[in-house]
Amino acid sequence: MTDGTLPKLSNRWSAVAGSAAALVGLLATACGSDGTVDASKAEQGIESSSLSTSTTDITSASCPSDVKKEKDKTFTCDVKLSGGGKAEVTVTQTSDHNTFSYAFKSGSVVLPGSEVDKQIEQELADAGVKDSTVNCPDEVPVKPDTTVTCPVTGANGNQATVTFEFSDASGTVDSSSVEES
């Protein structure tokens, strides 16, 4: 064994072991081995989720990048809605592998008044009150089961108010609650 065969074999094994260790390290990094959530995956999931509706059309999401991966742990992301609205989404980690569920954080959805105006004007038209103009505030916080009051001008120019409630946290108007007075 003094012919040098053993040291050459050891050097080959060292090279193979070193290459294998480097490959494992590379794969671990690609899989998010730093132990944090892939924020971009959460953001993309929010944007394509069922939370994005005609009322709450999500145009972008922004999630923290330092959230530790932990099944059932939650974190909050900010979202922008079309027309200038905003909300917060509670993200729940459903596994340790960047899978999530999403829900609007209660009381965080704020719709632009112009979008609410359109919903209420349509509700009034469906009820036979045609050509009314609703003028809600610029920002309307969505709070289910809470009455909202906005001024309305009828087709004849008469001033009145309309009251309504949201039926859910996403800003869907409860049709049965819309009343003009």
Pair 46, 79: CB distance under 8 Å? yes
Residue with tokens 């112009």: 114
- Its domain, for residue 175, covers 110-180
- Looking at residue 34, what is its pLDDT? 75
Looking at 72, 104, 136, the residue that finishes a domain is 104
Residues 6+ apart with CB under 8 A from 14: none
Residue 49 shares a structural domain with residue 82: yes
Domain count, the chain: 3
pTM, two decimals, is 0.73
Q: Residue 15: what pLDDT? A: 37
Coil, helix or strand at residue 83: helix
Inter-residue contact 167 to 55 (CB < 8 Å): no
Whether residue 83 sits in one domain with residue 27? no
pLDDT, residue 169, reads 85
The pLDDT value recorded for residue 147 is 95
Reading the chain (181 residues) residue by residue, the pLDDT tens digits are 444 444 443 444 333 333 333 333 333 333 444 799 999 999 999 999 988 887 888 999 999 999 999 999 999 999 999 889 999 999 999 988 889 999 999 889 999 999 999 999 999 999 999 999 999 999 999 998 899 999 999 999 999 999 999 988 888 899 999 998 8
The verdict on 13 and 57 lying in the same domain is: no
